[in-house]
């Protein structure tokens, strides 16, 4: 089985690709971020392509290990087709700005920039041109994937790489994908209309099954129907048989200078798969922990920021088990973290030196994401200082007296009763006892 | 007042000798009297007298006014002028009111020019006769019963008949120079990339260029100065802030190299060459040096031009799909527009890749190179504009015959060069325009040679 992709993501620029309109199209009423250029009014002329969009695509291409097309004329092509969301009747798309890349053994054939069309609502028959002209990066892979599962993993890695670049729009994914799939000896089928990784997986699963059952597979373009999880042949009207590509006479070709590429290369972000490898080797941490660390660039950035002062292995587990959990619970991304690296280091040191228990560390962290203060202060405010031994012993006494049945169970060999009793001690001490110490004292007393 | 050239008229207005209101009232009267017959305007502007009074008040108060102060200017109907219709003389865009000003229109307003209205033209600038407008043909005020030429037919006719001081036309393959020649006025196609095209409705984007029509050379220079220069938001432009042609006064024809080509004579009716030869003789008598230049592929320019144009025009008209503006172009346009769309659609097919369009682009490069070489040997090329006299209005001619009008004007568009036209004599009472072609950004030389000939 051979699977390849054509991926489109919106680039994160302030202005559109061929005009100065703003790009925050989701935040404004329909047809407000528009001008004669991005609505294709008669006589309107595009400006030269947005420099920042080109730089963004270069950085992404470099992260995908591509060769940038340097010192050559890269023409902007007009790709003609007729659809209500396309104000000019053609879409502007660049010839490759980069070629011959690779991401985890999957060939990256080409990287282009192009303009997003508007948004057409076929039910109401209305078009919103706010999106028209937003820059897109188009990434074309070689058909190097051999199963829907592998394709899904690859897409996740690719999307993470794009997110790492910081060059794609940060809003929930704007992914649009076309995929092509062929079974051994069979014809290639293209599937359009995929908007998520899950969608890609389902479309490929369906196609693989469908093609397996056919004696002969027709070479065609099909559309993925998200709701039904099937693919259907596209009506011939929807598939332009000929885009009649011509270079856009209104736009001078792009020329990328080698110097610029080197500047971007020097400052670009390390792609996640390489970062994972480096983090594992440099800090001697478990691959499974590293997998969690590199889910987001901000997260692993923060991790690396604390490793100067905190033991990396200790920190890595803490990041994976606790920080991740707290962020997920609060529905926060690393970029939303309000506290400083210093405060986090302080907290981790308190746990590392066993000044507080990991459980208390977690309680403080939960507070810290709401109220980004020094963790020592929070410790006092939360009144979490460990209780003294005398108080602990008396609490244990109290629990033993009040839970005769559990005590009997424990003494008759039901070891799990100890957990219940320890829980009761924590309850009586309002969580201030160190649970390990509570266990110890309980065991001592019960063994007597 | 009739003897003043355009520059002198602006000076008179600025000094208060002539009021803007007087000038504009005179234009409105002429339009009233003559346009019913000539049909040079599709729409006239309502508020021109108020604008005229504003400028007069500014002058009375001693305020600075722009270089087009008080002049009445017509705009070709393919150039967006806010509040007026950019119909392109087509049913497709009938009733389409521009929502924005073309950059050239903005610049005219900044220079205190007064926009009189939208001039008639060949539909979508597809024509060389002024007959294909959906709003009826334009008549030639300078040669009764003859076509005015096209496609900037209305602008040339309006200037020739005194309805406008100046007009903005567009020239893709001769659309300023051809009607200038037939109507006996001055026209200039500036170098490609000198004048912003933002707001000009596309015919063939790699050739289109906006330029002036005027009764005299000073007016053409003045209007070009007003509209030329970089528009930051446009891609294919020269990085030039502004240009100055009027400052460069007297021309020394002495030692100037005038290029002539036997190809011009080969392609042109002999009678038309008479006044052209006369002009060349005059230039030589004034001290210019004549240089014979070699243009071996000149006649290939026309077919090459129509191949490229058709592909670009097909692309440009895809937006007229009937969803946003009036009606779908293929359903309502005239014959010639449809012919070009269908041809463009045909030759841009994937299966013909490399056969027509690619090949045409190669020949374009070849012709550009030939012209550039010729213009290294000579400062300007002097020759005829249109190889034959205009036909009678309404006479049925074949598309091939129509395209043949363009043999001598399309090379400058293929080369991206500049070229001006000056009325120089008449044949059978019909004006003949002399064409002066210059190198890229050679407008100053072209205008200077035209000025020298104008003075004769």
Residue B238 pLDDT > 90:
yes
Beta carbons of B78 and A82 less than 8 Å apart = no
HSE of A149, CA atoms in CB hemisphere, 13 A: 0
Beta carbons of A87 and B319 less than 8 Å apart = yes
pLDDT (0 to 100) of residue A386: 66
CA B272, B278, B280 angle in degrees (round to 5)?
Answer: 105
- At residue B173 the predicted structure's pLDDT band, cuts being 50, 70 and 90, is very high
Beta carbons of A48 and B235 less than 8 Å apart = yes
Nearest Cβ partner for B235 among A41, A89, A251: A251
Gyration radius (Cα) of chain A, Å: 29
The H or E element containing residue B265 is helix B262-267
Task: Provide the shortest C-alpha distance from residue A284 to chain B (in Å).
Answer: 53
Model pLDDT for residues A304-356, shown as the tens digit of each residue:
999 999 999 999 999 999 999 999 998 998 989 999 999 999 999 999 988 88
Burial of A444 (0-12, 13-18, 19+ CB in 10 A): exposed
pLDDT (0 to 100) of residue B248: 60
| Residue matched to tokens 């394709």 | A151
Measured CA to CA, the distance from residue A51 to residue B246 in angstroms comes to: 37
Please indicate, yes or no, if residue A229 is contained in any of the structural domains: no
Residue B250 pLDDT > 70:
no
The domain total for chain B is: 1
The SS3 assignment for B316 reads helix
Beta carbons of B235 and A47 less than 8 Å apart = yes
Task: Provide the shortest C-alpha distance from residue B326 to chain A (in Å).
Answer: 12
CA A204, A205, A207 angle in degrees (round to 5)?
Answer: 60
Please indicate, yes or no, if residue A407 is contained in any of the structural domains: yes
Model pLDDT for residues A53-78, shown as the tens digit of each residue:
999 999 999 999 999 999 999 999 99
Please indicate, yes or no, if residue A180 is contained in any of the structural domains: no
Task: Report whether A139 contacts A64 (CB < 8 A).
Answer: yes
In this structure, are A361 and A410 located in the same domain? no
- At residue A240 the predicted structure's pLDDT band, cuts being 50, 70 and 90, is low
Domain assignment of residue B360, given as a range = 1-456
- Which residues of chain A approach chain B closer than 8 Å at the C-beta? 19-20, 36, 39-48, 78, 80, 82, 84, 87-90, 242-244, 246, 248-252
Model pLDDT for residues B50-96, shown as the tens digit of each residue:
999 999 999 999 999 999 999 999 999 999 999 999 999 999 999 99
Measured CA to CA, the distance from residue B51 to residue B110 in angstroms comes to: 12
Q: How many CB atoms lie within 10 A of CB A336?
A: 11
Residue A364 makes CB contacts below 8 A (sequence gap 6+) with A347, A356, A375, A378, A379, A382, A384
Nearest Cβ partner for A42 among B93, B232, B348: B93
Phi-psi region of B439 (alpha: psi -120 to 50; beta: other; left: phi over 0): beta
Q: How much is the ipTM here? A: 0.93
Model pLDDT for residues B183-212, shown as the tens digit of each residue:
999 999 999 999 999 999 999 999 999 999
Residue B3 pLDDT > 80:
no
The CATH number of the domain holding residue A402 is 1.10.10.410
Cβ-based contacts of A90 with chain B (< 8 Å): 315, 318
pLDDT (0 to 100) of residue A241: 73
In this structure, are A252 and A275 located in the same domain? no
pLDDT (0 to 100) of residue A384: 64
Contacts 24+ apart (CB under 8 A), A84-88: A84/A120, A84/A125, A84/A127, A84/B323, A85/A117, A85/A118, A85/A119, A85/A120, A85/A127, A85/A132, A86/A117, A86/A118, A87/A38, A87/A39, A87/A40, A87/A117, A87/A118, A87/A129, A87/A132, A87/B319, A87/B324, A88/A40, A88/B318, A88/B319
pLDDT (0 to 100) of residue B249: 55
Eight-class DSSP state of B4: -
Model pLDDT for residues A260-297, shown as the tens digit of each residue:
999 999 999 999 999 999 999 999 999 999 999 999 99
Mean pLDDT of chain A: 92
Nearest Cβ partner for B319 among A47, A89, A243: A89
Task: Provide the shortest C-alpha distance from residue A49 to chain B (in Å).
Answer: 8
| Residue matched to tokens 């200017």 | B73
Measured CA to CA, the distance from residue B236 to residue B121 in angstroms comes to: 25
User: How confident is the model over B301-318, as a mean pLDDT?
Assistant: 97
In this structure, are A55 and A100 located in the same domain? yes
Please indicate, yes or no, if residue A193 is contained in any of the structural domains: no
Residue A442 pLDDT > 90:
no
Beta carbons of A45 and B232 less than 8 Å apart = no
Domain assignment of residue A393, given as a range = 389-447
Q: Is the dihedral of CA A405, A411, A414, A417 positive or negative?
A: positive
Q: Which two tokens stand for residue A205?
A: 């699963």
User: How confident is the model over A138-151, as a mean pLDDT?
Assistant: 97
Smallest CA–CA distance from A76 into chain B, residue: B235
pLDDT (0 to 100) of residue A444: 84
The domain total for chain A is: 3
Task: Provide the shortest C-alpha distance from residue B240 to chain A (in Å).
Answer: 16
Model pLDDT for residues A376-405, shown as the tens digit of each residue:
888 888 766 667 778 888 888 888 888 888
In this structure, are A296 and A412 located in the same domain? no
- Which residues of chain B approach chain A closer than 8 Å at the C-beta? 78-80, 86, 88, 93, 96, 98-100, 102, 196-202, 204-206, 232-236, 311-312, 314-315, 317-321, 323-325, 345, 348-350, 357
User: Number of A:B CB contacts under 8 A?
Assistant: 93
Cβ-based contacts of B323 with chain A (< 8 Å): 84
Smallest CA–CA distance from A242 into chain B, residue: B350
**pTM of the entire structure?**
0.90
Beta carbons of A20 and B324 less than 8 Å apart = no
Please indicate, yes or no, if residue A132 is contained in any of the structural domains: yes
Task: Report whether B156 contacts B187 (CB < 8 A).
Answer: yes
CA A192, A198, A204 angle in degrees (round to 5)?
Answer: 50
Smallest CA–CA distance from A48 into chain B, residue: B235
> A99-108, A219-228, B245-254: which range is least confident on average?
B245-254
In this structure, are A28 and A109 located in the same domain? yes
Please indicate, yes or no, if residue A107 is contained in any of the structural domains: yes
Q: Is the peptide bond between B395 and the residue preceding it cis, with omega within 30 degrees of 0?
A: no
| Cα–Cα separations (whole angstroms), residue A359 to A326, A384, A434 | 12, 10, 9
Enumerate the active-site residues of B. Answer: 76, 151, 175
Q: Which two tokens stand for residue A353?
A: 């030196």
pLDDT (0 to 100) of residue A385: 66
Please indicate, yes or no, if residue A227 is contained in any of the structural domains: no
User: How confident is the model over A235-245, as a mean pLDDT?
Assistant: 75
What is the residue-wise DSSP string for B24-79?
HHHHHHHHHHHHHHH--EEEE-S-HHHHHHHHHHHHHTT----TTTT-EEEEETTB
In this structure, are A291 and A433 located in the same domain? no
Residue B1 pLDDT > 50:
no
Mutation target to probe the B interface, by most B beta carbons within 10 A, among A244, A245, A253, A254 is A244
In this structure, are A246 and A394 located in the same domain? no
Measured CA to CA, the distance from residue A280 to residue A286 in angstroms comes to: 7
- At residue A238 the predicted structure's pLDDT band, cuts being 50, 70 and 90, is low
- At residue B252 the predicted structure's pLDDT band, cuts being 50, 70 and 90, is confident
Task: Report whether A327 contacts A334 (CB < 8 A).
Answer: yes
Task: Report whether B39 contacts B138 (CB < 8 A).
Answer: yes
Measured CA to CA, the distance from residue A442 to residue A419 in angstroms comes to: 10
The CATH number of the domain holding residue B402 is 3.90.1300.10
Q: How many CB atoms lie within 10 A of CB B398?
A: 8
The 3-class SS string of chain A reads CEEEEEEEEEECCCECCCCCCECCCCCCCCCCCCCCCCCCCCCCCCCCCCHHHHHHHHHHHHHCCCEECCCCCECEEEEECCCCCCCCCEEEEECCCEEEEEECCEEEEEEEEEECCCEEECCCCEEECCCCCCEEEEEEECCCECCHHHHHHHHHHHHHHHHHHCCECCCCCCCEEEEEEECCCCCCEEEEEECCHHHHHHHHHHHHHHHHHCCCCCCEEEEEECCCCEEEECCHHHCCCCCCCEECCCCCCECCCHHHHHHHHHHCCCCHHHHHHHHHHHHCCCHHHHHHHCCCHHHHHHHHHHCCCCCHHHHHHHHHHHHHHHHHHHCCCHHHCCCCHHHHHHHHHHHHCCCCCHHHHHHHHHHHCCCCCCHHHHHHHCCCCCCCHHHHHHHHHHHHHHCHHHHHHHHCCCCCHHHHHHHHHHHHCCCCCCHHHHHHHHHHHHHC
Residue B314 pLDDT > 60:
yes
Residue A132 pLDDT > 90:
yes
User: How confident is the model over A192-203, as a mean pLDDT?
Assistant: 94
Beta carbons of B314 and A244 less than 8 Å apart = yes
Task: Report whether A320 contacts A293 (CB < 8 A).
Answer: yes
Beta carbons of B319 and A45 less than 8 Å apart = no
Measured CA to CA, the distance from residue A440 to residue A396 in angstroms comes to: 10
Residue A165 pLDDT > 90:
yes
Cβ-based contacts of A73 with chain B (< 8 Å): none
Cβ-based contacts of A45 with chain B (< 8 Å): 196-200, 233-235
| Cα–Cα separations (whole angstroms), residue B42 to A32, B133, B144, B334 | 32, 10, 21, 17
Model pLDDT for residues A407-436, shown as the tens digit of each residue:
888 888 888 888 888 888 888 887 777 788
Please indicate, yes or no, if residue A47 is contained in any of the structural domains: yes
Mutation target to probe the A interface, by most A beta carbons within 10 A, among B97, B123, B236, B238 is B236
Q: Which two tokens stand for residue B210?
A: 């906006």
Measured CA to CA, the distance from residue A62 to residue A99 in angstroms comes to: 10
In this structure, are A63 and A119 located in the same domain? yes
Beta carbons of B349 and A89 less than 8 Å apart = no
């Amino acid at each position: 089985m051979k699977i390849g992709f054509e991926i489109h993501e919106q680039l994160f620029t302030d202005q559109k690709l061929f005009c100065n309109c703003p790009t925050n199209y989701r935040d404004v009423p329909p047809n407000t971020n528009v001008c004669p250029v991005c609505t294709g009014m008669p006589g309107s002329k595009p400006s030269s392509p947005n420099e920042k969009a080109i730089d963004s695509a270069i950085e992404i291409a470099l992260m995908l290990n591509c060769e940038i097309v340097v010192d050559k004329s890269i023409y902007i092509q007009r790709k003609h087709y007729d659809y209500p969301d396309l104000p000019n009747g053609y879409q502007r798309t660049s010839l490759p700005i980069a070629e011959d890349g690779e991401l985890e053994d999957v060939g990256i054939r080409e990287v282009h920039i192009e303009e997003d069309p508007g948004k057409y609502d076929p039910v109401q028959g209305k078009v919103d041109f706010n999106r028209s002209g937003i820059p897109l990066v188009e990434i074309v892979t070689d058909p190097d994937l051999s199963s829907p599962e592998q394709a899904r993993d690859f897409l996740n890695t690719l999307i993470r790489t794009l997110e790492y670049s910081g060059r794609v729009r940060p809003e929930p994914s704007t992914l649009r994908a076309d995929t092509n799939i062929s079974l051994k000896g069979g014809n290639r089928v293209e599937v359009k209309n995929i908007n998520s990784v899950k969608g890609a997986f389902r479309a490929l699963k369906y196609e693989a099954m469908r093609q397996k059952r056919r004696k002969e597979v027709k070479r065609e373009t099909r559309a993925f129907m998200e709701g039904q999880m099937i693919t259907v042949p596209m009506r011939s009207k929807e598939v332009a048989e000929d885009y009649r590509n011509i270079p856009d006479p209104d736009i001078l070709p792009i020329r990328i200078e080698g110097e610029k590429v080197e500047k971007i290369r020097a400052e670009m972000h390390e792609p996640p798969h390489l970062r994972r490898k480096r983090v594992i080797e440099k800090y001697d941490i478990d691959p499974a922990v590293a997998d969690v660390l590199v889910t987001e660039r901000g997260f692993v950035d923060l991790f690396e920021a604390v490793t100067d002062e905190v033991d990396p292995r200790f920190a890595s587990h803490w990041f994976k088990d606790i920080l991740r959990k707290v962020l997920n619970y609060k529905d926060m991304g690393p970029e939303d973290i309000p506290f400083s690296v210093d405060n986090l280091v302080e907290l981790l040191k308190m746990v590392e030196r066993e000044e507080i228990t990991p459980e208390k560390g977690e309680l403080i962290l939960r507070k810290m994401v709401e109220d980004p203060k020094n963790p020592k202060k929070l410790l006092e405010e939360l009144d979490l200082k460990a209780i003294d031994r005398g108080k602990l012993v008396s609490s244990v006494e109290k629990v033993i007296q009040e839970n005769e049945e559990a005590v009997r169970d424990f003494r008759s060999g039901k070891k799990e009763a100890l957990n219940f009793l320890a829980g009761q001690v924590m309850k009586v001490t309002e969580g201030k006892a160190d649970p390990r110490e509570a266990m110890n004292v309980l065991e001592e007393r019960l063994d007597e | 007042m009739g003897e003043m050239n355009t520059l002198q008229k602006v000076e008179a207005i600025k000094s208060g000798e002539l009021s803007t209101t007087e000038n504009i009232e005179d234009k409105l009267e002429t339009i009233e009297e003559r346009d019913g017959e000539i049909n040079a305007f599709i729409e006239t502007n309502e508020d021109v007298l108020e604008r005229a009074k504003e400028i007069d008040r500014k002058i009375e108060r001693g305020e600075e006014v722009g270089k087009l102060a008080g002049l009445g200017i017509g705009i070709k109907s393919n150039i967006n002028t806010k509040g007026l219709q950019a119909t392109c003389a087509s049913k497709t865009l009938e009733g389409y009111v521009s929502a924005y000003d073309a950059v050239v229109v903005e610049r005219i307003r900044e220079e205190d020019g007064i926009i009189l209205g939208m001039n008639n033209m060949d539909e979508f600038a597809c024509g060389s006769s002024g007959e294909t407008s959906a709003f009826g043909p334009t008549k030639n005020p300078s040669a009764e019963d003859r076509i005015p030429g096209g496609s900037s037919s209305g602008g040339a006719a309006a200037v020739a008949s005194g309805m406008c001081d100046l007009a903005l036309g567009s020239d893709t393959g001769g659309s300023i120079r051809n009607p200038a020649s037939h109507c006996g006025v001055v026209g200039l196609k500036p170098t490609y990339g000198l004048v912003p095209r933002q707001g000009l409705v596309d015919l063939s984007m790699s050739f289109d260029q906006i330029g002036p029509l005027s009764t005299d050379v000073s007016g053409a220079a003045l209007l070009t100065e007003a509209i030329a220069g970089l528009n930051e938001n446009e891609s294919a432009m020269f990085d030039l802030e502004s240009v100055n042609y009027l400052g460069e006064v007297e021309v020394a024809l002495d030692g100037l190299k005038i290029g002539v080509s036997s190809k011009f004579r080969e392609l042109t009716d002999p009678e038309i060459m008479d006044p052209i030869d006369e002009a060349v003789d005059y230039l030589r008598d004034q001290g210019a040096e004549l240089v014979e230049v070699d243009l071996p592929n000149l006649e290939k320019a026309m077919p090459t031009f129509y191949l490229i144009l058709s592909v670009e025009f097909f692309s440009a008209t895809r937006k007229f799909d009937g969803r946003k503006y009036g009606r779908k172009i293929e359903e309502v346009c005239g014959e010639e527009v449809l012919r070009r769309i269908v041809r463009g659609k045909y030759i841009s097919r994937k299966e013909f890749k490399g056969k027509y369009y690619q090949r045409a682009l190669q020949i374009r490069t070849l012709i550009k190179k030939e012209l550039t070489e010729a213009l290294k040997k000579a400062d300007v090329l002097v020759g005829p504009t249109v190889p034959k006299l205009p036909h009678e209005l309404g006479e049925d001619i074949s598309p091939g015959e129509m395209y043949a009008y363009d043999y001598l004007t399309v090379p400058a568009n293929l080369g991206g060069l500049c070229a001006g036209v000056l009325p120089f004599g008449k044949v059978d009472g019909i004006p003949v325009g002399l064409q002066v072609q210059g190198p890229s950004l050679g407008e100053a030389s072209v205008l200077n040679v035209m000025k020298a000939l104008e003075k004769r």
